[in-house]
């Protein structure tokens, strides 16, 4: 059959043609007309017009890859924080000016249409944003890659505040048509749960196992195009939506049982409703495991289908595919691939296991025990009975290997087992990931060393060659070019545009660091960005802030180890000092927070309430007016971050040493000229090494000191009693000063700090407050601060996701770029 290629008539690059395509899409795709079209109508027409440019490149990309049959990277992640698609796709297709010209005669400026663009609710924090940065860089580097995830209908949640408390509302990002996705309901994949297995041996004695699921749902694929910058390549992200096999029971409906008539539909589609359902209940834990299995089996079946479609045999899957597991959420893919190879493709155990271990690579993104997922074995047995059989067999053979290497070391065998014994036996997913992968990497130098020395030490002694480091990075296209166009324009005027694809070129800015004109221009950019953020703060919160004050910013996921609580203690300390001495000379500060707490994380939500309560007192006290302001912006996401990062003066990266894997907010703010105050934790260590110790505000214990203090026996009350400022602050929280006289409201926080203080807030408090005094002095020196700001940006070119992906490709995946001609 002669396949006819589509014409390029929708992608001519003249203002007249672009305007005509936009009008055509308005009429033929939206069914609207020019005279009465709404802003949303025009937005949809514009999005489709821009998307056509991507589709044309995507077609060329697909043609090239079918012809060459290259090795592919398949990236499995539970999260993708993509951000708005329209501004990025305008940039990557070089159609922004065409769009502006096409809209010039209309009543809808481009900025108004961009405001219509919904940010996909597919992630929560740094893990999801990192995955999005990596997909961007993979396409920019021309690396054949596909991302896989879940199409969450309501995201994690939309955050609101009521009386200072976090309230979760559905993030209904799909309430209107999402123009950037392609649904493929004709390509659904069946997914089984529960049931039982049957075993038999054929005439040659080969064991065959069949899984008979008790229930089935369908995975419906939707894909989003992921273009590279400055290249023709367009990869894609494939997201799975859960659908019922039978959506409607007419018999039940006919007898009036209307709710039961759609029960199966509701039960099935709950799988892809929200990201990270609250797992404080047995139902929540079950739903999470259902999500993870649903996502990986759909993805693996799709990967295998693509592999076979190009004429490859199943036995060379590892030669043509590498599957990167982004943290432990997709690790059930390891026994699932074994099941597919054993039961559906009839490979023997040895061949299937060797293939599996050559396909998977694992990135660990945490040092927190609760994030190294464990699942009750009883839940696994009920939901995934065949997978439990496979995990038992993997574990038996693996422990045999451990015994052979370390004879009679029963404690080691117990520590390394994939199954944790106890009254409720658990499947250790991180252990399964290490055993079933050929590569295990951390995401910052310190993090990777701690994985080897502590978290996976036994595994490192068994397989040292598996372990490596790949420090995280961020895309400069999203977080400088799009987020900070003023700075981007200034940088390009001095060093050219090459930095957008080679971020190390930012080092050329050092040559301009002493130039008074450049310094002044740099300050003006920061001032304009701060004024823009001040307007947004007033619009969203009603709080008026001074753009000339220091913007002291802490925006990240709310977790106790990140120590937003220590920041709150510092604010109260400054408030007390000003209350005691109104004439005290301090640098005016605006403290800006942004963070979501997991719905079931009680302490994190109480810390949000405390920060808002402190802000309520501080912001309404005339004695500190103009010198201290506290702002907690609700619903922190990529779109909000793009306004915050360019305006930051001081970046708060104050986690307890040894707890943060990497962090990427630290990189984004430094690249936008912020100075960091932080501990030697995560990627802070490498940022400080690169920008210079004199351009980084360091405080707090080292990892070694943290472990030593814990082993000695940490008593937080000793620090409380020894520091008058600290004691006063905690006593104020306890007395009800920040809770309308109610001494019980924040009692759990006070009790946690004084009795346990797991993340050693009190131990680091004094050093933190002292370091903040150094920040004050440095900020008073405008010329010196500007120089430090420029050097932070100039010396952070290493922290590009392009560099990270290049290292993954060369060191782990062994894939090469395939430019599209």
Query: What was the pLDDT predicted at 2?
Result: 38
Q: Please give the average per-residue pLDDT across 425-438, as a whole number.
A: 98
Residue 791 CB burial class (10 angstroms; 0-12, 13-18, ≥19): buried
Q: Is the pLDDT of residue 229 over 80?
A: yes
- Reply yes or no on whether 246 is catalytic: no
Point out the least confidently predicted range of 259-263, 293-297, 410-414, 667-671.
259-263
Catalytic residue among 51, 557, 567, 803: 557
Measured CA angle at 39 (ends 36, 45), to 5 deg: 90
Q: What is the pLDDT of residues 791-807, one digit of tens each?
A: 999 999 999 999 999 99
Catalytic residue among 10, 668, 688, 795: 668
DSSP assignment, residue 426? Answer: E
Q: What is the mean pLDDT of the chain?
A: 95
Q: What is the pLDDT of residues 712-741, one digit of tens each?
A: 999 999 999 999 999 999 999 999 999 999
Q: What is the pLDDT of residues 41-61, one digit of tens each?
A: 999 999 999 999 999 999 999
Q: Please give the average per-residue pLDDT across 353-375, as a whole number.
A: 94
Catalytic residue among 71, 129, 365, 478: 365
Q: What is the pLDDT of residues 680-709, one digit of tens each?
A: 999 999 999 999 999 999 999 999 999 999
Most confidently modeled range among 33-37, 126-130, 175-179, 293-297: 293-297
- Reply yes or no on whether 267 is catalytic: no
Q: Please give the average per-residue pLDDT across 608-624, as a whole number.
A: 97
Query: What was the pLDDT predicted at 260?
Result: 59
Strands 72-76 and 145-150: parallel
* CA–CA dist 533, 547 (Å, integer): 8
Split at pLDDT 50, 70, 90, the class of 258 is very low
Query: What was the pLDDT predicted at 8?
Result: 47
* CA–CA dist 82, 88 (Å, integer): 10
Catalytic residue among 556, 609, 627, 659: 556
Closest CA to 451 of 330, 365, 370: 365
Q: Which two tokens stand for residue 42?
A: 């025009």
Q: Please give the average per-residue pLDDT across 203-230, as a whole number.
A: 95
Query: What was the pLDDT predicted at 245?
Result: 82
Query: What was the pLDDT predicted at 255?
Result: 67
Return left, alpha or beta for 581; rule: phi > 0 is left, psi -120 to 50 is alpha, else beta. beta
Q: Please give the average per-residue pLDDT across 78-102, as a whole number.
A: 97
Token pair 């290497």 is found at 405
Q: Which two tokens stand for residue 684?
A: 């802070």
Question: Can you give the pTM of this predicted structure?
Answer: 0.96
Query: What was the pLDDT predicted at 263?
Result: 63
Q: What is the pLDDT of residues 124-168, one digit of tens each?
A: 888 999 999 999 999 999 999 999 999 999 998 999 999 999 999
Got the DSSP string for 255-303?
TT-HHHHTHHHHHHHGGGTSSS---SSHHHHHHHHHHHHHHHHHHHHHH
Q: Please give the average per-residue pLDDT across 393-403, as a whole number.
A: 98
Q: Please give the average per-residue pLDDT across 292-308, as a whole number.
A: 98
Split at pLDDT 50, 70, 90, the class of 251 is low
Q: Which two tokens stand for residue 419?
A: 């199954």
Q: What is the pLDDT of residues 110-129, one digit of tens each?
A: 999 999 999 999 998 889 99
Query: What was the pLDDT predicted at 4?
Result: 40
Query: What was the pLDDT predicted at 6?
Result: 43
Q: Is the pLDDT of residue 1 over 50?
A: no
Catalytic residue among 562, 596, 605, 795: 562
Query: What was the pLDDT predicted at 265?
Result: 67
- Reply yes or no on whether 512 is catalytic: no
Catalytic residue among 664, 676, 679, 786: 664
- Reply yes or no on whether 556 is catalytic: yes
Split at pLDDT 50, 70, 90, the class of 520 is very high
């Amino acid at each position: 059959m002669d396949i006819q290629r589509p014409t390029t008539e929708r992608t001519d690059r003249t203002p007249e043609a672009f305007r005509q395509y936009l009008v055509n899409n308005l009429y033929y795709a939206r069914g609207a007309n020019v005279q009465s079209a709404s802003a949303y109508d025009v937005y949809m027409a514009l999005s489709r017009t821009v998307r056509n440019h991507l589709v044309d490149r995507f077609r060329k990309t697909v043609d090239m890859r079918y012809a060459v049959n290259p090795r592919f990277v398949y990236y499995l992640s539970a999260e993708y924080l993509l951000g708005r698609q329209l501004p990025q796709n305008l940039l990557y297709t070089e159609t922004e000016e065409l769009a502006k010209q096409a809209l010039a005669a209309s009543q809808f400026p481009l900025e108004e249409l961009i405001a219509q663009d919904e940010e996909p609710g597919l992630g929560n924090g740094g893990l999801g944003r990192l995955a999005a940065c990596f997909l961007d860089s993979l396409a920019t580097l021309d690396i054949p890659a596909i991302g896989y995830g879940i199409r969450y209908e309501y995201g994690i949640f939309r955050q609101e505040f009521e009386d200072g408390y976090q309230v979760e509302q559905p993030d209904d990002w799909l309430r209107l048509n999402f123009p950037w996705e392609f649904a493929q309901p004709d390509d659904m994949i069946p997914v089984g749960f529960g049931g039982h297995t049957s075993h038999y041996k054929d005439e040659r004695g080969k064991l065959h196992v069949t899984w008979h699921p008790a229930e089935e749902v369908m995975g419906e694929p939707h894909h989003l195009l992921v273009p590279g910058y400055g290249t023709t390549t367009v990869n894609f992200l494939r997201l799975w939506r859960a659908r019922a096999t039978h959506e409607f029971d007419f018999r039940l409906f006919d007898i009036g049982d209307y709710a039961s008539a759609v029960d199966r539909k509701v039960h099935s589609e709950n799988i892809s409703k929200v990201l990270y359902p609250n797992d404080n209940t047995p139902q929540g834990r079950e739903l999470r495991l259902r999500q993870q299995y649903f996502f990986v089996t759909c993805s693996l079946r799709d990967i295998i289908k693509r592999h076979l479609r190009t004429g490859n045999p199943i036995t060379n899957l590892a030669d043509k595919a590498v599957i990167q597991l982004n943290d432990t959420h997709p690790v059930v893919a390891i026994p699932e691939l074994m099941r597919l190879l054993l039961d559906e493709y009839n490979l023997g155990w040895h061949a299937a296991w060797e293939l599996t271990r050559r396909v998977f690579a694992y990135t660990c993104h945490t040092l927190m025990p609760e994030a190294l997922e464990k699942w009750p074995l009883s839940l696994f047995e009920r939901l995934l009975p065949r997978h439990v059989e496979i995990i038992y067999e993997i574990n038996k053979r693996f422990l045999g290997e451990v015994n052979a290497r370390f004879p009679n070391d029963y404690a080691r065998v117990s520590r390394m087992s994939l199954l944790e014994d106890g009254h409720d036996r658990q499947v250790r997913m991180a252990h399964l990931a290490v055993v079933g992968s050929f590569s295990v990497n951390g995401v910052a130098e310190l993090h990777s060393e701690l994985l080897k020395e502590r978290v996976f030490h036994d595994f490192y002694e068994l397989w040292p060659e598996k372990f490596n480091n790949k420090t995280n990075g961020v895309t400069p296209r999203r977080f400088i070019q799009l987020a900070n166009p003023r700075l981007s324009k200034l940088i390009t005027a001095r060093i050219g545009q090459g930095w957008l694809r080679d971020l190390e070129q930012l080092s050329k800015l050092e040559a301009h660091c002493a130039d008074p004109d450049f310094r002044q221009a740099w300050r003006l950019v920061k001032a304009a960005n701060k004024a823009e953020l001040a307007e947004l703060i007033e619009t969203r919160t009603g709080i008026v802030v001074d753009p000339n004050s220091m913007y002291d910013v802490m925006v990240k996921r709310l977790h106790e180890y990140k120590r937003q609580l220590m920041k709150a203690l510092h604010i109260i300390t400054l408030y007390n000092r000003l209350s005691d001495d109104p004439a005290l000379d301090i640098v005016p500060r605006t403290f800006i927070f942004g963070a979501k707490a997991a719905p079931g994380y009680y302490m994190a939500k109480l810390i949000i309430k405390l920060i808002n309560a402190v802000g309520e007192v501080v912001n309404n006290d005339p004695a500190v007016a103009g010198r201290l302001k506290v702002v907690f912006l609700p619903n922190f996401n990529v779109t909000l971050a793009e306004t915050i990062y360019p305006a930051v003066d001081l970046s708060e990266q104050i986690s307890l040493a040894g707890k943060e894997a990497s962090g990427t907010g630290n990189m984004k703010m430094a690249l936008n000229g912020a100075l960091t105050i932080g501990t030697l934790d995560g990627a802070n260590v490498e940022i400080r090494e690169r920008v210079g110790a004199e351009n980084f505000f360091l405080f707090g214990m080292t990892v070694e000191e943290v472990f030593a203090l814990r082993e000695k026996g940490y008593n937080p009350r000793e620090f409380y009693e020894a520091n008058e400022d600290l004691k006063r602050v905690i006593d104020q929280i306890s007395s009800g000063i920040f809770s309308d006289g109610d001494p019980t409201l924040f009692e759990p926080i006070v009790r946690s700090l004084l009795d346990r203080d797991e993340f050693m807030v009190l131990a680091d408090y004094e050093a933190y407050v002292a370091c903040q005094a150094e920040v004050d002095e440095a900020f008073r020196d405008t010329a010196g601060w500007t120089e430090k700001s420029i050097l932070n940006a100039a010396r952070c070119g290493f922290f590009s996701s392009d560099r990270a992906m290049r290292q993954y490709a060369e060191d782990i995946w062994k894939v090469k770029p395939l430019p599209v001609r």
